Amino acid sequence: MYTNFNLLGKFNDKKVRIIKKTILFAPETFNLAETTRSIEVAKKCSAYFHCIFIGYSTKYAYLIEEANFEFFHLEPHLTEKHIAQIMKVDQMKGIKHPFTYSMLRKRVNSEKKIFNEFNPTVVVIGTTLSIFISARACQIPIVYIKPLAYTRTHFLKGHHKIPAILNNFLVPKKTILNLSKKIALNITYKPKSFSQIAKEEGVILPKYTIDALDADYNLITTIPEISGIYDLPLHYQYIGPVYAKLDTPMPSFVKNLKTSQPIIYFAMGSSGSKNILIKILNLLKHLPVVVLCPMKKTLGSSANDFSNDENIHISDYLPAHKLGNIIDLSIIHGGEGTVQTACLSGKPFLGLGLQQEQKSNIHDCVLFGNAIELTKRDMTTKGLAKLIESALTNKEMKSNAKKMKELMEHVDGPANAAKFLVDHFAINK
């Protein structure tokens, strides 16, 4: 649906005549990082496009509405059971996924219906797999705002980390590395439901699984100084960091924290389980540190177990991007947005990757020198204390953390994404 007015706008000081068209954002709205990433880009686009959102979960949909964008909750709705299944597959802890023929058929039908109603000029996605069928069936371009990790380009040219499951084989690491790359690049598996419905819709899926996760345009949310890759395929483009900048006010308790002890920001994103949070909090409470943990919703009633620990502060979401001058260290999972927020604090971080992409994001920072990777072996009071002490006292690591911040702080990922979308889809040529 085209809006019935034109704008005379400015973009990066360049005057352009713009027809305001519709962009449809389709992150998986149970995923905090994907949802907030789309919101940040939509904010930069809203002067040039009519931005609407769709999703199958309401878990983080309220953030979309708080940002004053319209959200359409499509059927079939994702239940918590479905979300748990998806997360287990993502973390290689299970193989059963909820995308049965029936569910995927309904998703594709819902998406085609809303495409028909709003006639978007482009669909901007997260890991929203059904869109790869529905948008192509409707001949609508797809833009995927995504990490570089675990793409074909990353396997061929990047800092590849051997999956932990392969580390125990008595084979040279180089051999294992080459084997894991070969396997990843040549897997052709796609769930039967996707192959069936793609065929029904007249959509040809790429032969290899890794290529099936590429969109028409892929906007990469890192910078080459971190990835180590300076030449990308033509349908790839670096835009730089895109991460949550929640408008949540800073809680008053943050201003009154003890400053005689190191202040640690501890969060595990939407992929962190309650059990992991409780385990690490139980370790941290025995250490001489102050902890900011914005995971109250995930912890639920278990947050009360730490109410008597004066150095453990559990809250709802904090504006993490504003904590750089307050914290001394972060302990995080490896989600790219969370890693980038930690990097932009200019302080070192400890990273516990919960799946391979997250481990890769952490690995890039370990190689850069501003991070330490946590493993299961480190999950003791003594082990965690040792790594925290190392990160806080290592002058080279602290210097590298500042260098990382300097590299990233002037790169406006959402603005770069918006410029791409304007240049390709909004300008009346």
Compute CA 280 distance to the chain's CA centroid, rounded to the nearest angstrom. 22
For β-strands 14-19 and 217-220, DSSP reports them as unpaired
Cα–Cα distance for residue pair 329/291, rounded to 1 Å:
10
pLDDT, residue 354, reads 84
pLDDT, residue 170, reads 60
For β-strands 14-19 and 6-11, DSSP reports them as antiparallel
Q: What is the pLDDT of residues 293-320, one digit of tens each?
A: 989 888 999 989 998 888 999 988 787 7
List, in sequence order, every residue forming a beta bridge with 332; answer none if it has no partner: 267, 351
- Asked if 408 and 243 count as a contact pair (C-beta separation under 8 A), the reply is no
Burial tier of 300 (Cβ tally within 10 Å: 0-12, 13-18, 19+): exposed
H or E stretch at 104: helix 101-118
76 upstream amide cis, omega within 30 of 0: yes
What are the residues whose beta carbons fall under 8 Å from the beta carbon of 209, sequence distance 6 or more? 187, 188, 189, 190
Half-sphere exposure of 321 (CA within 13 A, CB side): 13
Cα–Cα distance for residue pair 413/219, rounded to 1 Å:
9
308 vs 246, residue with greater confidence: 308
At residue 181 the predicted structure's pLDDT band, cuts being 50, 70 and 90, is confident
- Asked if 269 and 335 count as a contact pair (C-beta separation under 8 A), the reply is yes
Helix or strand or coil: residue 164? helix
At residue 272 the predicted structure's pLDDT band, cuts being 50, 70 and 90, is confident
At residue 167 the predicted structure's pLDDT band, cuts being 50, 70 and 90, is low
Terminal C-alpha separation, the chain: 19
- How confident is the model over 405-423, as a mean pLDDT? 95
The mean pLDDT of the chain is 88
Least Cα distance to 60 among 43, 49, 73, 50 occurs for: 73
pTM for this entry: 0.87
Handedness of CA 156, 159, 163, 166 (dihedral sign): positive
Least Cα distance to 391 among 338, 335, 331, 339 occurs for: 331
176 vs 197, residue with greater confidence: 197
- How confident is the model over 45-56, as a mean pLDDT? 96
Q: What is the pLDDT of residues 315-365, one digit of tens each?
A: 887 877 788 888 999 999 988 888 999 999 999 999 998 888 889 999 999
Cβ count within 10 A of residue 256: 8
- Asked if 242 and 45 count as a contact pair (C-beta separation under 8 A), the reply is no
- Asked if 354 and 275 count as a contact pair (C-beta separation under 8 A), the reply is no
pLDDT, residue 162, reads 65
pLDDT at position 128 over 50: yes
Q: What is the pLDDT of residues 8-47, one digit of tens each?
A: 344 455 555 555 899 999 999 999 889 999 999 999 999 9
Cα–Cα distance for residue pair 376/48, rounded to 1 Å:
47
Total length of the chain: 429
Least Cα distance to 285 among 272, 298, 303, 259 occurs for: 303
pLDDT, residue 2, reads 24
Question: For 173, phi and psi rounded to 5 degrees?
Answer: -60, -35
Burial tier of 427 (Cβ tally within 10 Å: 0-12, 13-18, 19+): middle
pLDDT, residue 318, reads 82
Q: What percent of the chain has pLDDT over 90?
A: 65
Cα–Cα distance for residue pair 257/263, rounded to 1 Å:
8
Q: Which of 242-251, 263-272, 417-426 has the lowest mean pLDDT?
A: 242-251
pLDDT, residue 307, reads 87
Cα–Cα distance for residue pair 350/413, rounded to 1 Å:
24
What domains can be seen in the chain, in order of their start residue?
A: 6-240+411-426 (3.40.50.2000), 252-408 (3.40.50.2000)
pLDDT at position 104 over 90: yes
- Work out the angle at residue 365's Cα, subtended by the Cα atoms of residues 41 and 178, and round it to the nearest 5 degrees: 105
H or E stretch at 25: strand 21-26
253 vs 28, residue with greater confidence: 28
- Asked if 373 and 363 count as a contact pair (C-beta separation under 8 A), the reply is yes
Q: What is the pLDDT of residues 136-148, one digit of tens each?
A: 999 999 999 999 9
Cα–Cα distance for residue pair 360/365, rounded to 1 Å:
9
Cβ count within 10 A of residue 180: 17
Cα–Cα distance for residue pair 349/387, rounded to 1 Å:
10
Cα–Cα distance for residue pair 10/129, rounded to 1 Å:
34
Amino acid at 153: T
CA distances from 241 to 165, 384, 405 (A): 30, 29, 11
